[in-house]
Structure 1
């Protein structure tokens, strides 16, 4: 009988081989197939959780699996069912062969197989069939050779990596992720039995296509394991109530954009370990998807979270959905896209002004029409607020005060500070100008988070990194401790978005020209988070403001990160904490040396007293006369509101006291004028 030729051949072979050196030479001359087959590239988080996997070049999900990654109970049951003398035989189980041969002769057909796990590995490595006796003989020879070259654990690892589980699934890890959405570290008895049965006929027993066949095969495995006393009757009863999987799940695809970058940078590696926290990443991707569900179809979003003490990137969301099938261009990683930062660079400019001794948080600074040659910056809302404190100018994100300061510091120095922080800003014109302060520059979200991380950790940069093995180098200081603290203290006083907790999160928003980009970046004592919203193609989004759409996402992201913020810490001892009047004279007021202040067209103009006048103190007050502008007026005295709702062009203000005083008149349209006087 031809189909029993295999068993006869094996019996004769072993009978002949006993005591003959020719047999050893025959095995030793076996040509082994490639052992190290391609496996799927994997990206894992800081805790070892699988973030993303990729198919092999031939489209197979083949994840490497060592025995220590698999439930020991599964391995015990697998060996008991498939090859109970696995640990003792040398590749071929002669007792199992003899039993299979005897059963075949007695029943007139093949009742059981005699293949060992090593023989199955041989077949899987060569992708050979099982039907012809020549193929079986080759498997025997190869199994014997494998046992001489590899350890039992390595052979078991090859089986756990290559066993077929339906479709393009190979290996136990691919199987459990696809069928049970988990790693194989812990399996129920029913799951283990199903995963033992499936490789024997991976297509006909696929549970998503033939659930009845899958259940029957699983139950046969359970019955034999019960008969052999490897499991008890209670396990059988419990296993029978479990359903087989109804569908094959998609593999994890967390932090998809970052995973693409790291795998492209090292295509020869199959394991990439990131600093990402998989749990946080999943929450923020859900937040991004939820946020975009109520926004325009073309809008995208990006979120980046980092620990500014260590430099580790904990989450990186490049878009609301990793897809190119919608209008959001989800395949574009917006954490790496170069965009205009709007007002988010203003804190750096003020901090540099603190360090240069130009201003203090309590210094009075102008917010009125100004011109630098042909450049005449305007506030976002077109309103001028006269003279006010630097801290208030930053919180209100006014443009004119920060441009005055940037002109004094120098745009090239601001650019150099950004680069020292680790950011890589891009200049559209190739030359730094004052407009860069208001967003006339290109920067990525990751670079902006890098910049704020420097400010958050007291002025010392930290190199952000996403791969575990990275070793950031120490960086030189960019800002003083006191300047960095002052900025954090000012930003911590920003009012939160509606409905968000007043938790003193130090944050800044920004909106680029034409409403193309909406930003929010914030930090506490440990973490920094950046948020961007806009259209990937750069099309304007009318009405999109950073404070309206990005800031709420920033606050929600911090709530998902941790239950309460870490404090920024006390001011350094060298920090000057005084009010305006107690500042040294040069710090009490700041006026840019190169600025030309002008009256706004059709704006109010103070006709009396003249700017620079010396007046006598008057108990009845100071008379101020104004022409032009739109009634009613509001008048500030030394930065504080003196009167409002003035419907006359002449008004008597309370005597502000001896010394220098400044009066600012603001009309109903927001245009203003200002004078400074000395009162004896």
Structure 2
């Protein structure tokens, strides 16, 4: 090989070696310096620690924070590495000085390590101190300085330095030893934590604490000499005592923190004081009225309407060691539960939005059979007709089911999904009428968030004259910029704009404001200091869930009460069990400056029949019944005019009568003393079957045979007639059953024992008026 070739080969080898060294140097750092588990940490909006859970390895090691307090940085740099901000990771003067000190002492008395080198050592698990290890630390330190800023290096060191026992990192140390954030450290506290990682065992009680205090005071003196402290600050710091025993870290919002992934650091929107008081209120009821009824669980949310920020998150009653199996570790806020009646106001608003009803339009409240399902009101009574607003306020089931049929259950289900309810995962046919009666599931989180979104949308309209994109959004646990929808938590299935009209929302909140308070709040309107609240309760089938959600223009509060395992309690209702907690929570909140303003830009003034709630006709005025000028939703201008005031001619005289269908009239007149029954001979429809209805399905009880004549279950059929003296003739499948000659307090009733199968029932009065319906008898599934 020639000289030229050997020279070229040496250059190639040197280049390859250099490239390998450069590549090794560039790639020597792992993707993350520390592969260690972290504590789960939850902070309130003001930086107050709400909850901390020890890391998987048993250490109190909080996730790294990007910002360090100035006092701690000044103390740390002065104590460990006063040239930190000027060297590239290795301080040659420090290395030379350490070598001389070690040579003179004939033992290792100084390592000459910079803070960056100490960071390398921490990341490698504190291996034995050897010369090769020291060289590795020096090289790695320069590489770290290449990839990280000085501030990032300090933050990583502070997060992983040992502070005695199982306390690792500045954040954990500040809370464990001093009970507050590092941002609030005094000079004495900052100096203590700066010197502690050098000898972490000194923190424990005993003789070592004198050495710790001496080290702290020497550092304070150095800070005085370099001008960081003045004499007054130095003197005050010297007299501060060392921390005593470590403090117990707070355990608020236990269920929320328990649901966070291990190692999560969450700076939440929660108000620490409000959270504590809300938990106390829920715990108070949990230990008192709820416990007395063997109700073991309750949850509550408080949120700001405008931002959607959660201010208090009570996932359950505080667990106790004595109640290990009471379900109190469950986060009820995120649990799917039967919604009870909580969806009814949305249906009312949907009908108003489309002009299908007006706010006080009468809705039938008479017996109803839907494919074998016969809804009943909570009190088992019927009113004949009730205003739609009253149906919402009183949470009446039968009128609501009729309103659902009017709107269409499939359309209503789509509307609910578009507004952000993600738990409605069945078909409309599967839900049927139970969609508004508790057959649908929801979470306290989503239900409270939806009510907040609707209140937010109405407030936006009243301020700006239009809805804004992003107003319909879920609640959020992190502080947000309320002027920036993009900064908020959002759901990809939610629409940006509220699908319900402003006027419909205003009337919905008005109907919810008229609900009677729990017993202790019954006279709330008599006290000027009491807050006006729009609220809705719900009770699921079998009394398994009790709900109460209330709102003002400023706050929304949601409460759930029940047993996490689904056990029902007979005396548990939304009004009796959840609403008292709701109003206690509202009592500690500031009042809204004003109530929701009428959205007049979405309203029209029109004459409304006070008796029927429909747009008034000439016959409404002619009847002498009051006609009012009301502001109604603009869509309501196309609604049906009053169908109940009609002209009737008797004895050559024509006058206006308020006429209800016979079945509605029968129930209505039992409580409406001012109702005048029209003459039966002139009425358009004097006779009506109340039960069963056309195409009704009647079920035989379990145990009865479905085979023809062996099924002997008896049903009570009922009919209404406008004339109290009417005689009705009953026929089943063209077979005469009997005659009823007078309407008792229960109407015309006849006990019938039909066999299984399809039947035709005919009822005829003495004037030949009749009604014929078909029904089917089936065995109970």
CA contact (8 A) 1:358 1:587 kept: no
- Distance, in Å, in 2 between the alignment partners of 1:542 and 1:43 is 38
Helix, strand or coil at the partner of 1:301: strand
- Distance, in Å, in 2 between the alignment partners of 1:26 and 1:413 is 69
- Distance, in Å, in 2 between the alignment partners of 1:522 and 1:570 is 19
Helix, strand or coil at the partner of 1:287: helix
Shift of 1:62: 3.6
Q: Deviations over 1:419-444 (max 9, x none)?
A: 23221325599623223332232222
Change (3 A) 1:339 1:565: farther
Change (3 A) 1:259 1:611: same
Q: Which moved more, 1:540-549 or 1:571-580?
A: 571-580
1:162 has 2:160 as partner: yes
Shift of 1:256: 5.3
Gaps of 5+ in 1: 1-21, 617-649, 651-664, 674-680
Shift of 1:114: 3.7
Partner of 1:291: 285
Shift of 1:329: 1.7
Partner of 2:34: 37
Q: Which moved more, 1:328-337 or 1:131-140?
A: 131-140
- Distance, in Å, in 2 between the alignment partners of 1:479 and 1:206 is 62
Partner of 1:537: 565
Alignment of 1:131-530 (within 5 A): 132=130, 135-136=133-134, 138-143=136-141, 146-147=144-145, 150-202=148-200, 204-207=201-204, 210=205, 212-226=207-221, 229-230=225-226, 231=229, 234-235=232-233, 237-249=235-247, 251=249, 255=253, 257=255, 263=261, 276=270, 280-294=274-288, 295-296=290-291, 299-321=296-318, 326-355=324-353, 357-372=355-370, 374-385=372-383, 387-424=385-422, 425-427=424-426, 431-453=430-452, 455-456=454-455, 457-458=457-458, 462-466=472-476, 469=487, 470=489, 474-497=495-518, 498-499=520-521, 502-530=530-558
What RMSD, in angstroms, separates the aligned Cα atoms of the two structures? 4.5
Partner of 1:78: 76
Change (3 A) 1:123 1:362: closer
Gaps of 5+ in 2: 1-16, 462-466, 481-486, 618-640, 646-657, 683-723, 725-742, 749-781
- Distance, in Å, in 2 between the alignment partners of 1:105 and 1:193 is 30
Q: Deviations over 1:362-392 (max 9, x none)?
A: 3344545555564333221234445544333
Q: Which moved more, 1:216-225 or 1:466-475?
A: 466-475
Change (3 A) 1:179 1:33: farther
Change (3 A) 1:396 1:576: farther
- Distance, in Å, in 2 between the alignment partners of 1:604 and 1:310 is 49
Shift of 1:271: 5.8
CA contact (8 A) 1:406 1:434 kept: yes
Partner of 2:627: none
Q: Deviations over 1:15-54 (max 9, x none)?
A: xxxxxxx9xx999977845353246366666666666666
Helix, strand or coil at the partner of 1:335: helix
Partner of 2:616: 584
Shift of 1:539: 0.4
- Distance, in Å, in 2 between the alignment partners of 1:605 and 1:558 is 36
Change (3 A) 1:666 1:545: farther
Alignment of 1:98-113 (within 5 A): none
CA contact (8 A) 2:316 2:329 kept: yes
Helix, strand or coil at the partner of 1:343: coil
Partner of 1:551: 579
Q: Which moved more, 1:551-560 or 1:275-284?
A: 275-284
Change (3 A) 1:124 1:356: closer
- Distance, in Å, in 1 between the alignment partners of 2:77 and 2:144 is 18
Change (3 A) 1:280 1:293: same
CA contact (8 A) 1:404 1:595 kept: no
Q: Deviations over 1:164-209 (max 9, x none)?
A: 112333221222133223321231122112212321222x2234xx
Helix, strand or coil at the partner of 2:77: helix
Change (3 A) 1:215 1:64: farther
Change (3 A) 1:465 1:262: farther
CA contact (8 A) 2:279 2:314 kept: yes
Helix, strand or coil at the partner of 1:431: helix
CA contact (8 A) 1:384 1:666 kept: no
Change (3 A) 1:512 1:576: farther
Shift of 1:540: 0.5
Helix, strand or coil at the partner of 2:184: coil
- Distance, in Å, in 2 between the alignment partners of 1:123 and 1:29 is 19
CA contact (8 A) 1:319 1:333 kept: yes
Q: Which moved more, 1:105-114 or 1:564-573?
A: 105-114
- Distance, in Å, in 2 between the alignment partners of 1:454 and 1:154 is 40
Normalising by structure 1, we get a TM-score of 0.73
- Distance, in Å, in 1 between the alignment partners of 2:222 and 2:396 is 81
- Distance, in Å, in 2 between the alignment partners of 1:452 and 1:512 is 19
CA contact (8 A) 2:536 2:550 kept: yes
CA contact (8 A) 2:383 2:671 kept: no
Helix, strand or coil at the partner of 1:157: helix
Normalising by structure 2, we get a TM-score of 0.64
Q: Deviations over 1:572-593 (max 9, x none)?
A: 3525575615842544769999
- Distance, in Å, in 2 between the alignment partners of 1:343 and 1:557 is 21
Helix, strand or coil at the partner of 1:344: coil
Helix, strand or coil at the partner of 2:330: coil
